[in-house]
Every structure is written in C-alpha cells, then in structure tokens.
C-alpha cells in the first residue's frame, strides 16, 4: 500500500471516529431526551477553539487569541469538552423550556449569532482568519515519523471514541436513560411521577455538549487549524442528518450514521465525473444526495437504519401470562354469605 493511500485511509478513519463522538453527543440530546439543537456545531467549534488555544503558546505567528497555555495532551481535549459543556449550559438556559419547533428556531439563531460574533471579534479567536499552526498532541514527545504519528493519533482518537460509546451505552441502559426516554415521550407524565424534567434535560444537554467539545478539540488538533468557515450551519446539518439516517436513540445507529454520511456519502460523491467548467458540481451533488437521503428516511423509515430497541418488561409479561390468583375467602365470610 502506497504512502498516499495510507494517509487517505487514516484521514477517513479519523473523520469517522471524530464523528462517532459527535453523533453520540447529539444522540444524548436529541435521541434520548428529544431536545432539538441546531446549534450543536457551536459546541464543536468552541471546543475546537479552546482546545487549540490552550495547546498553543501565548503568542503564535502574529495571531490574536485568548488563553494560550501550552498545556500537554490530553488536557486540551478535556478543556475543549468543558468549553462545549459550558456553551451547552448557556444555550440550554434559553431553550430548554421551549417547545420543539421553537427550540429549533432559537438554536438556529444562536448558532448564527455565535458565528458572526467569533468571526467579527478578532481578539477572541483571530476572527474570520481563524487559528493556524496548532501543535499536534504528543508530536514532539513521541518524536515519530509523520506516517507513524498519524497512526498513533488515530489510535488515540479511536480510544476516545470507544470510551464515549461505552459511556453512552452505560447511560442508555441505566435508570437515567429510561427516565430521559420518558421525558422524550411525554414530559408531563414524567413530571407527574416526580421527575425534575428541567434538571434532567439540562444534564443531557451539558453531557452532549461535552462530547461535542471533545470532538471539536480533536478536529482542531488533527487539522492544525480551525476557523468559522468549517462550522457553518451546514456542518450541523450533517451531524443531525447522520443521526436520523443511522437511528435516533440507538448508540449503534449513531456509529452507523457516522459511517454512512460523513464518510460514505462524502466519498461516493467524489466519484462523480466533472463536466466542463462545472467546478461546484461535486459539492452540489453531495448536498442534493444528503437531502434526498434524509427525506427518504423521514418518509419511509423514520426510525433510521438501526431502530431503537424498545424496552421489554419481563416481569409484566410474566404477570400477564400467569396472573396472580385472588386470595380465597375466609370461612367466616363464606358463612355470612350463606346466612344472607
């Protein structure tokens, strides 16, 4: 296998594992709890920015930005996750109490406002120019060749993706996961049974934002750059569409969606031949294909490729099949009936 092919496959695998982390975070918010968050990529972006700046030094090639701490790995990834959680908590205070359709509208507005603010306020993260020359984690410590380092970084990202998957599996099959599903299905019923709906929704929102921030930190450190141009609303649509196609409320569906859309569809559209001067044909065809795929799934298979498995209560089934007999009447009661 040629070196170019190895780099190409490593890049695809990196994007797959990063999107696995992102999809698992969004599955926590939307799949389990039913919160519509169009601003999901704002958490990814701030996680990437914070992860990049705390990796970089106080000054770097004339760029203007806050922080700059030269922190060693994995602290920048954790810092990115914390930044995503803080942004989620801030957005959650605004949108949690809103209904579904208003959640979508408000989070879309918040995403656009954050994009314009970060882009126009240059002292924060260097404005629309973005950050460049972000150091790769453990690069100078390991002192490996470029190709071998790519394999090591891929292994680190895969390890974080596996940890995120195991964590989400634990949450999904825990009492907390069942309560979050009940909130998704009917908030009023969950509140009647004594559940603090707002607090649990905020918890889900913050945990999902933390995973999104971790994914953003990996994106910035792998690419070595981050700017507002890579976190537009269209990128958030990719995260949402991948979960819808893979299957909401199902962690395996989130992983499958990360494979089908961000990796599979992107690569399939690369096979489209160019026609004359139509240089934007591939990008346009990619979005058309993604839009048609999402519409088809919403119409014909809204549960996605891997549907969420419904919980089966074995005890209730046993009671239904073998009902408990009523207690027999005592002898005094039988005598009273005979006398009457």
The answer to whether residues 38 and 104 touch, using CB atoms and an 8 Å cutoff, is yes
- In the prediction, which pLDDT does 141 show? 79
> Residue 184 — pLDDT band, cuts 50, 70, 90?
very high
> Residue 330 — pLDDT band, cuts 50, 70, 90?
very low
- In the prediction, which pLDDT does 272 show? 65
Q: Is 329's pLDDT higher than 60?
A: no
pTM of the model: 0.87
Give the pLDDT confidence of 31-49 residue by residue, as tens digits.
999 998 988 889 999 999 9
Give the pLDDT confidence of 286-305 residue by residue, as tens digits.
888 888 989 999 999 988 99
Q: Is 67's pLDDT higher than 70?
A: yes
DSSP category for residue 322: S
- In the prediction, which pLDDT does 273 show? 64
**Pairwise CA distance, residues 256 & 246, whole Å:** 5
Give the pLDDT confidence of 193-223 residue by residue, as tens digits.
889 999 999 999 999 999 999 999 999 999 8
Element (H, E) at 57: none
Share the mean pLDDT of the chain.
Answer: 85
**Greater confidence, 309 or 87?**
87
Q: Is 281's pLDDT higher than 90?
A: no
- In the prediction, which pLDDT does 274 show? 63
Q: Is 169's pLDDT higher than 60?
A: yes
DSSP category for residue 191: H
60 forms bridges with which residues in the sheet?
63
- In the prediction, which pLDDT does 313 show? 38
- In the prediction, which pLDDT does 317 show? 42
**Mean pLDDT along residues 122-139:** 88
**Mean pLDDT along residues 240-251:** 92
- In the prediction, which pLDDT does 335 show? 44
Q: Is 324's pLDDT higher than 60?
A: no
Whole-number percent of the chain with pLDDT over 70 = 87
Topology (CATH) of 3-339: ABC transporter involved in vitamin B12 uptake, BtuC (1.10.3470)
Q: Is 282's pLDDT higher than 80?
A: no
Alpha helices in the chain (DSSP H): 3-26, 40-55, 75-95, 100-120, 122-125, 139-142, 146-172, 175-185, 187-192, 197-223, 233-246, 251-258, 266-269, 281-300, 314-321, 331-339
Give the pLDDT confidence of 251-270 residue by residue, as tens digits.
999 999 999 988 888 777 76
> Residue 314 — pLDDT band, cuts 50, 70, 90?
very low
**Pairwise CA distance, residues 207 & 176, whole Å:** 13
**Mean pLDDT along residues 111-125:** 91
Q: Is 340's pLDDT higher than 70?
A: no
What residues contact 304, with CB distance under 8 A and at least 6 apart? Answer: 243, 244, 245, 246, 247, 248, 250, 253, 257, 297
């Amino acid at each position: 296998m040629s070196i170019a092919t190895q780099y190409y496959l490593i890049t695809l695998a990196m994007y797959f594992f990063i999107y696995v982390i992102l999809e698992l975070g969004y599955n926590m918010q939307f799949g389990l709890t039913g919160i519509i968050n169009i601003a999901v990529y704002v958490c990814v972006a701030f996680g990437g920015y914070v992860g990049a700046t705390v990796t970089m030094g106080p000054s770097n090639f004339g760029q203007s930005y806050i922080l700059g701490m030269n922190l060693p790995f994995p602290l920048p990834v954790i810092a990115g996750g914390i930044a995503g959680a803080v942004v989620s908590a801030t957005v959650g205070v605004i949108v949690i109490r809103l209904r579904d359709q208003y959640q979508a509208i408000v989070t879309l507005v918040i995403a656009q406002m954050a994009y314009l603010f970060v882009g126009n306020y240059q002292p924060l993260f260097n404005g629309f120019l973005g950050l460049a020359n972000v150091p790769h984690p453990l690069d100078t410590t390991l002192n490996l060749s470029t190709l071998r380092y790519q394999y090591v970084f891929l292994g680190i990202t895969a390890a974080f993706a596996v940890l995120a998957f195991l964590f989400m599996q634990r949450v999904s099959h825990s009492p907390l996961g069942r309560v979050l599903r009940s909130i998704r299905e009917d908030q009023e019923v969950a509140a009647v049974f004594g559940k603090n709906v707002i607090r649990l929704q905020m918890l889900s929102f913050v945990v999902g934002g933390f995973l999104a921030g971790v994914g953003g930190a990996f994106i910035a450190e792998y690419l070595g750059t981050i700017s507002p141009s890579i976190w537009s609303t269209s990128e958030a649509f990719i995260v949402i569409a991948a979960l819808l196609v893979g299957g909401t409320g199902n962690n395996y569906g989130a992983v499958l969606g990360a494979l089908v859309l961000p990796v599979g569809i992107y690569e399939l559209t690369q096979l489209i031949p160019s026609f004359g001067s139509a240089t934007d044909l591939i990008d346009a065809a990619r979005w058309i294909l993604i839009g048609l795929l999402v519409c088809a799934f919403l119409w014909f298979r809204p549960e996605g490729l891997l549907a969420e498995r419904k919980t089966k209560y074995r005890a209730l089934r046993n009671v239904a099949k073998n009902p408990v007999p009523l207690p027999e009447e005592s002898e005094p009661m039988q005598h009273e009936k005979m006398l009457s």
